[in-house]
Structure 1
Amino acid sequence: MDMIKTHSGKLRAIGYDASKRILRVELEDGNALEYANVGESIWRNLKNASAAWSYYRDNIEEEFTASRVSGKPATGGKNPLDDLFG
């Protein structure tokens, strides 16, 4: 799936697989979410929205169920650089 980079709110990249009707969003916290059964018109509207983050929150996040497909592992509140720089 080709991803389009964006910097709208917490969105960092968006992509769509028309044959599977899957929308994928990558967020600033490193999480990637996929939404199934998303119509092509929703994708076009998101891709062309002047405020993609608002469109996402109002029309996708609240209307479709997300599956987390990747993300940063939990660090338990510890900065990973602490081991290097103590």
Structure 2
Amino acid sequence: MHRKEVDSTVIASLGYDAMTNTLEVEFHNGRVYRYLKVPKALYWRFASAKSHGEFFGAEIKDRFDEHKVR
């Protein structure tokens, strides 16, 4: 999955697969997670958020099934 870099102290990059509604988040610590069944509109809000870390904590973390990629 192609990810785009974001300006965040916590998150390094974001990717999204619209065919499977899968969000991929790479953190600055090197870990990568995939979040399942994430609506496309939520991904776009996340990608354009003023604070990606705050948005992640409030809207993504613990709200979707997650799988560690690395």
TM-score range with shorter-chain normalisation? over 0.9
Aligned to 2:12: 12
- 1:25 equivalent to 2:25? Answer yes
Partners of 1:54 and 1:62 lie apart in 2 by 13
Deviations 1:13-36 (A, max 9, x none): 000000010000000111000001
Aligned residues: 70
Query: What's the Cα RMSD here?
Result: 1.0
Kindly report structure 1 stretches of 4+ aligned residues shifted beyond 6 Å.
none
Structure of higher CA gyration radius: 1
SS state at 1:59 partner = helix
> Structure 2-normalised TM-score?
0.92
Gaps of 5+ in 1: 71-86
Map of 1:68 onto structure 2: 68
Q: Which has the higher contact order (CA 8 A, sep 6+)?
A: 2
Secondary structure of the residue aligned to 2:69 is strand
CA displacement 1:52-85 (0-9 Å, x = unmatched): 1110111001311210011xxxxxxxxxxxxxxx
Give the aligned partner of residue 34 of structure 1. Answer: 34
